[in-house]
Each structure stands twice: as structure tokens, then as C-alpha cells.
Amino acid sequence: MKNLVLLVFLGLSSLIFSQKKSKVLLTIDGEKTTVSDFKRVYEKNLDAIDNDEAKDVEKNLTLFINYKLKVKEAYSINLDTLSSYVKEMEGYRNQLSAPYMQDTTFINKLVEDAYFRTKNEVKAKHILIRTPKIATPKDTLDAYNKIIKIRERIVNGESFENVAVETSEDPSAKGDLKKGRQPNKGNLGYFSAFKMVYPFEEAAYNTNVGEVSKPFRTRFGYHILKVDSLRISQGEVEVAHILINNETKNGKSLIDSIYIRLENDEQFKTLARKYSNDTGSSSKGGKLRKFGKGVMVKPFEDAAFNLEKEGSYSKPFQTRFGWHIVQLIKKYPVQSFEEVKEDLKRKVKSGTRAQLSEKAVIDKLKKKYTISENANAKAIFNNTEIRNIVKDSLQETILTINDKVITQEIFVNYIKNIKSKPVYELFQDFKDKEILAYYKDNLEKTEPEFAYTLQEYKDGLLLFELMQRKIWDKSSKDTLGLKNYYTSNIANYDNKEFKKVKGQVMNDYQNYLEKTWITNLRNKSAIEVNKKQLKKLIKYYQ
């Protein structure tokens, strides 16, 4: 009920902002409402009104005045200070401001890129030089110089794969023969959007086939990669499998016997339930979730994608998990952009790409705001015990954003429990966070539509609380008043017994209470309507 009532209130909401100069239409106790304010509210509801009487300008102005009077009353009795109200408004403001923290144009570009990278998969190999989780400038420089020298060797003609086995700090490049893991020599096979960390994906899709990328950094360290090919994506497949794990004696003999039974028309599902060692899928006849490239180990992936006909199955093959037979259930080609657009947008907004969109907003704000850093105050970065410096020694201004002053103490509190990065990097993160926070705190001043919508919700929420107290609670709890109203108006109910018409009586009593209340509010308020502007409005809408 609350949401429904709020929708009604928001439709009538008063707006204290105006995008352009406008004549005054209404004054209540000195508070002015312009023509454009009223027009915005009136026109907002036109599409929902289906009869001429309800579109009447004067009637809508009367409702508007009643609404303004109620809201004024709510503020006068300090309903806006209720803890429940303050908490709900804080939550709503955060929800309403969220879209402003993202660059819409940038998000759309990321979604388009993600679709291209879903429709086209890239095959690449890479070399990794790791950096520590908390990397000092020296750590970073050493890793960068090392990867630069490795790249030079490859550009000068050495085999990428041989250099990968020799130098890469990705363990899979060298493999582990003791555990049955062959060296992949840096080869990653085919992959598409969302399968790798974003900087890696970005580098792969922005490097030409046959070329070696410039060094780039991910959370793992510095990489270079070489793109082998780019092709139309094979989409996803849904398969079932039978697994005989490596611990099973005579696994090869068992999987071969199962294959012979399949060839003799025994059901795949039946054999999977009876023999498969994959406890997660055996009870479902070996059925797995659908998957795309880069999800399964390569031999399994190759076997699954090489099957063409639904219901067909592979010959027995081996992975590090054991012996398999795979059956194709269904192939899922990549859908059109319109079909996957919303899903891609959700993935973009919920993943690390969203940080790039937020960064795009911050970069714009940096050009717009006056931002200064205090070099003297930043000297505390050199103190190894920075997190333990006493509060009184941290009162120097370290950063200003327009008129906002930020002290060393605020920064130290920010990094108190964060030790995953060097202090100088944490300061850049802190600076970005404060810029975004400043923008968010001042949205009402810079984004008119945000200000309008927030004010609508504020007033609507207050009015809901006021109506609850003045009308709804009173009609349900004041049983004496309700029965007196029924007795006085019994003829309106055809002299029916109270309990048979209680719902109708309660509704009428609420209307009576509201009319009486509105009359009292009007009697104690000075209301002036600009007749000239009202006539112009009526003529305009006629």
C-alpha cells in the first residue's frame, strides 16, 4: 500500500526548483510556486488521465494546493527528523544517485565491445612476470624492465613458446609432468568476453593477429601476449559426459567397454548414472551446464565443440581428471545484440568494467573541479608508522576539492585497515573517492532532474507518514468516532447493519476526516492564486 500511495503523491509532488525563469502562479504563506513548477507536475500526469474532467486545470490546481498545505504541515511538526524517515531517505538517495556515478556513454561503449568480444573469440599465448601483492615502486619497475627484455627477445626472432617455457612465471607454461600436466608454453587457446581479467581481454582484442602486445599490467603482474587468430565464436554447448577418474584401476579398459555398449545402442544416461565418477552430474545422466570456450580443460572443450549432431558422442579421450566420453545435447550460437544487450549491460555494471565507467566520471570531474594537493602534508607518506600517528598531528590540509577541505586525519582513517597497496597508490584511490563523494553530495546543485526527483520522494514520504497519523490510523483506531459517523449518516447506507457496511463506512470516514483537515489547513494559511496566469494556463491547455 505504501508504494502505491507514494506513486500517487509523487504525481502531485511540489517542486521547489525551476530550470528557467517563470511567472509566479501560487503563493502560500509567502512560499512561491511558479507556472513552470505547476506545469511540470500537471503535464507529468496527463498521460495517466483518461477523462476531460480529471484534466481540468483549476481542479488540478486545487489538488496541488491541498498537497502543498499537507507537506507544509509535515515539515512544521518535524516529521522530517524521524529516524525512520532519515534512514529511508538516505537509502533512496544512494539508490537515486547510483546512475550518476556511471558514465552512460562509456557504459554503452563497453557493452558494444563486450558483444563484439562475445561474437568473436581470440586465440592467444602469454608470458607473465609477477609483482608482489603490495608492490613497491622498485618491484614494479623491476618487473616492467624484465618483461621489456623478454619482449625484445621475441621481437628479435626467438620463439614465443620457447621463451615462455624459460621465463614465464605462470606455472602452466612449464607444466608439471609429475602431476600429469603438460606445459602449455603460454598457450591459452580461444577465449571471449568476461573469460579473462579485463586488462588482459582488452590487450588481446586490441593486438593484431601475429603481433606481440606492448607490456600491460593486471593484478597478477606484467604480461605480454601474442595473438594467434581471431574467429567467429562457436557460442556455447550443452553436453553430458561419463568420467572414469584416474584413480580407477583399468580405467582405459572400463571406458572402452562403455563406449562399445554405447555403440550397441545402450542409453548414454543409463551408463552415466551407473559408471560415471563425476558425482555432480552422474545422477543427472552426466548432464553439465552449458559452457563456452575457455571454461573447460582444452581436451574436453575440443571434444565437446567438435561434435556436430545432437545426441552424437565422442570416442574415449583423456584429461588430467581421467577418461571421458562426451555427448552433445545442444549447441547455442551467439544471439543478436538486441537479445543479449541487457544481460551484457548487467555483466558490465556488476564486474570490474564498472570501475572504468566510474573512472571516466572522475576524470571528467577532475577537469571541472579545482583540486589541489598539499606537498608538505603528504610528507607523512614517508613515515612507516603512518597508521599510528596521533590524531592531533594529522590536522594539516592534505587535499582540497573546490570548497571542501580534507585533512591528513581523514586520509589516515581511510588507509587504517588497507595494506594491499603502497601509501602513494592508496592516496590516488582516496583522492578519486573524495572527488566522487563531493560530486554525489552536491548532486542537487548540479543535476536538476536529480533534485526534482529527490524532492518529490522526500515530500511524498513525509505526506505518507502524515496521512498515516492524521487519517488512516484515526479511522481504524477511533472506533467511537467511526460509529458516530455511521450513526449520523446511516441513511447513506440504507440503514444496513454496521458490520455489513464497515468497509464503506471507514472509507467515507477517511474522506470526511481529510476534508475537515484540509478546510482547517486552508483557514490558517494565506493562499494567493495569480488569476491572470491561471487564465493563461487554462487557455494554453484548451
Shared domain for 455 and 429, answered yes or no, is no
Q: How many CB atoms lie within 10 A of CB 289?
A: 9
Assess contact for 28 and 62: CB atoms under 8 A: no
- Cα–Cα–Cα angle for 135, 136, 142, rounded to 5 degrees: 85
146 lies in some domain: yes
Q: Which of 1-15, 63-77, 319-333, 497-511 has the lowest mean pLDDT?
A: 1-15
On whether both 226 and 242 belong to a single domain, the answer is no
Question: How many CB atoms within 10 Å of residue 17?
Answer: 14
Closest CA to 85 of 221, 77, 53, 176: 77
Give a yes or no: residue 101 inside a domain. Answer: no
- H or E stretch including 324? strand 322-332
Q: Give the pLDDT confidence of 270-315 residue by residue, as tens digits.
A: 999 999 999 999 999 999 999 988 789 889 999 999 999 999 999 9
The yes-or-no verdict on residue 14 having pLDDT over 50 is no
Residue 241's H or E segment, with its range, is strand 236-245
Looking at the domain assignment, is residue 328 inside a domain?
yes
Domain assignment of residue 250, yes or no: yes
Looking at the fold, whether 295 and 398 belong to one and the same domain comes out as: no
Mark whether 192 and 136 lie in a shared domain.
yes
State the pLDDT at residue 345.
93
| pLDDT, tens digit (0-9, with 9 covering 90-100), for 120-167 | 999 999 999 999 987 888 899 999 999 999 999 999 999 999 999 999
Q: What's the pTM?
A: 0.64
Domain residue limits at 413? 369-443
Please indicate whether residue 248 or residue 439 has the higher confidence score (pLDDT): 439
Cβ–Cβ under 8 Å, residues 74 and 80:
yes
pLDDT number for residue 2: 52
420: which DSSP letter?
S
**Residue 426 sits in the same domain as residue 468:** no
CA–CA separation, 323 and 487 (whole Å): 86
Enter the C-alpha cell of residue 320.
Answer: 588430467
Domain boundary among 393, 422, 443: 443
Q: How far apart are CA 322 and CA 333, in angstroms?
A: 29
Q: Select from 308, 332, 356 the last residue of a domain.
A: 332
337-370 in b/e form (b: 16+ CB < 10 A) is: eeebbeebeebbbeeebbebbbebbbeebeeeee
Please tell me the total count of domains within the chain: 4
Strand partners, 124: 227
d(CA 486, CA 277): 75
Look at the alpha carbons of 42, 44, 48, 50 in this order and tell me if their dihedral is positive or negative.
positive
| Residues 213 and 270 both lie in one domain | no
Residues 225 and 240 reside in one and the same domain: no
Q: What is the pLDDT of residues 354-408, one digit of tens each?
A: 888 899 999 999 999 999 999 999 999 999 999 999 999 999 999 999 999 999 9
What's the pLDDT at 421? 83
Residues 233 and 120: beta-carbon distance below 8 Å: yes
Q: Retrieve residue 145's grid coordinates.
A: 624492465
Alpha-carbon distances of 265 from 232, 261, 277, 286, 309, rounded to whole Å:
35, 7, 22, 17, 16
356 domain residue, yes or no: no
Note whether 452 and 482 are same-domain residues: yes
pLDDT band at residue 20 using 50, 70 and 90 as cut-offs = very low
Point out the least confidently predicted range of 40-49, 218-227, 487-496: 40-49
Closest Cα to residue 371, out of 398, 393, 352, 348?
398
Please give the torsion angle defined by the CA atoms of residues 447, 450, 452 and 458, in that order, rounded to the nearest 10 degrees. Answer: -140
For residues 418-435, average pLDDT: 92
Please check whether residues 304 and 270 belong to one and the same domain.
yes
pLDDT at 8 over 90: no
253 and 293 inside one domain: yes
Asked which of 182, 202, 232 is the last residue of a domain, the reply is 232
Same domain flag for 177 and 207: yes
Give CA–CA dist 503/429, Å, rounded.
Answer: 59
Using the predicted structure, report yes or no on whether residue 49 has a pLDDT greater than 60. yes
Contact partners, residue 483, CB within 8 Å, separation at least 6: 498
Q: Mark whether 221 and 122 lie in a shared domain.
A: yes
Q: Is residue 339 part of a domain?
A: no
The answer to whether position 355 is within a domain reads no
Q: What pLDDT is recorded for position 19?
A: 39
Is it the case that residue 15 has pLDDT exceeding 90? no
* Domain CATH code at residue 184: 3.10.50.40
| Residue 290 counted as domain residue | yes
Q: What is the pLDDT of residue 16?
A: 38
> Which ranges of 12-82 does DSSP label H, i.e. alpha helix?
35-46, 57-76
Residue-averaged pLDDT of the chain? 91
**188: enclosing H helix or E strand:** strand 187-191
pLDDT of residue 135: 82
